[in-house]
Structure 1
């Protein structure tokens, strides 16, 4: 059993990389990929922890891409986390995220939700501060009952406290991952809200521009989605990958490795990623 989509405290998860390795061992996982949002801060701790374990650690990242309808993320696997170009580009994203955070806080206060930057930072981990941390702070301040309610009422796209932030295009994300020596994969394609023919056309275009895979096996994908995306991957010569999108306490009903209980990511997904990496 493997899990190729995992988050730590370095972005919006609640577990340290060391804790994730221990959890993976307890769950009997052979490998996990750390794919924190727009940061590689957790990679070294992950590799150090995995070195003395039975779990194979895969270096990864999840980049946010421009998307008019829904959400588009590009995963990068087997990246060189010391690549200067990668670090330079994600630092630009970090600066944009910091500017956005200031505006979100201003909006929340203007809407009457008393919240300080200190409240938000206390909910954050070791690196990136984002909307999940605002949601957690709103819950702690008893402005809302749940983090989901915070997003539904205030923080989701189109809601009163939402603020857009800087993102690269999908092709720029793919190229950046390539420059870092990695394999790019379209994450959870069902979160891109397009008719099937348009979505398939998008995937086909990204494949022409260097996309290496598609995340067909995903905790929130219905079986028909998994089947459809797997079929597209075969047709377009893409690798079928998968993972839970585990965030620890931020996704309490979702388990590392198995998602909501039904997920099984084939070991061959990792082998195919390794083979693609070897061809670079």
Structure 2
């Protein structure tokens, strides 16, 4: 079993790298990818910790993007973490997150939800602030009854205080990953808020830009949906991947390994890297 979708304290997860790797070892996970939001700050630590436990480590990331007003998440695998274009983009995204957070907090005041930027920073476990941290603070201060409510009513796509991302276009991120000689995958497609026909059209457009695959074995997917997205991937000649989207206590119903992804997925990824880029990965 493998898990290619995990978040740590370096973004909006609650666990340290060592804790994540120990949990994976206990579950006999053969390979892991840390896919923190819009940053690669934990990847060196992840590699060292995985080596100690004899677990294969794949350098990953999850980008939060916008496509014509629709929120789309793109997973990147087998990153070149020294690539200047990637590093420049990540620095920009960090600054953009900070500005977006401040705008969102200002907008929340219209609904008598008063949170300071300093309070949100105190909730965050790293210098990367996400909407999950805002939602957690809203819950702690009694403005909402659940994190889900915070997203649906206020800070998620379509919420009253939602602020769209600026200059983080899905096609641009796929292109960035192509230039990095990494692989790009569409994350949890069921949760993209468009109809089936629109989603299929989007996948075609993403593939034309260089999308490599679809996350089919996702922790929240039933077998019906896993098979549905596998069939789409097969029809469109795309790779498949899988992972839990583990966040720790913030989503305590999800455990590492949920999604039941398997190592053959990685084998196909490595073969594709060789075919697409001439890139050999051990």
The TM-score with structure 2 as length reference comes to 0.92
Q: 1:77 to 1:152 in 2, by over 3 A?
A: same
- Determine the C-alpha separation between the residues in 2 that align with 1:139 and 1:269: 38
Shift of 1:113: 2.4
- Determine the C-alpha separation between the residues in 1 that align with 2:23 and 2:167: 32
- Determine the C-alpha separation between the residues in 2 that align with 1:244 and 1:160: 29
Shift of 1:35: 0.8
* 1:187 counterpart = 2:183: no
Q: Once structures 1 and 2 are overlaid, which stretch shifts more, 230-239 or 101-110? A: 101-110
Secondary structure of the structure 2 residue equivalent to 1:71: strand
The residue number in structure 2 matching 1:166 is: 166
1:1-280 mapped onto 2 (5 Å cutoff): 1-68=1-68, 70-258=70-258, 263-279=259-275, 280=277
- Determine the C-alpha separation between the residues in 1 that align with 2:107 and 2:195: 34
Q: 1:276 to 1:127 in 2, by over 3 A?
A: farther
Secondary structure of the structure 1 residue equivalent to 2:67: coil
Secondary structure of the structure 1 residue equivalent to 2:168: coil
Q: 1:119 to 1:30 in 2, by over 3 A?
A: same
1:38 touches 1:94 (CA, 8 Å); kept in 2?
Answer: yes
5+ long unaligned stretches in structure 2: 278-282
Shift of 1:93: 1.8
CA RMSD of aligned residues (A): 1.7
- Determine the C-alpha separation between the residues in 2 that align with 1:179 and 1:61: 15
1:92-131 deviation digits (Å, cap 9, x = unpaired) = 2222111111112222334322322222111112231011
The residue number in structure 1 matching 2:280 is: none
1:68-89 deviation digits (Å, cap 9, x = unpaired) = 4653111110001121100111
5+ long unaligned stretches in structure 1: none
2:121 touches 2:127 (CA, 8 Å); kept in 1?
Answer: no
Shift of 1:145: 3.0
The structure 1 segments of at least 4 consecutive aligned residues displaced by more than 4 Å after TM superposition are none
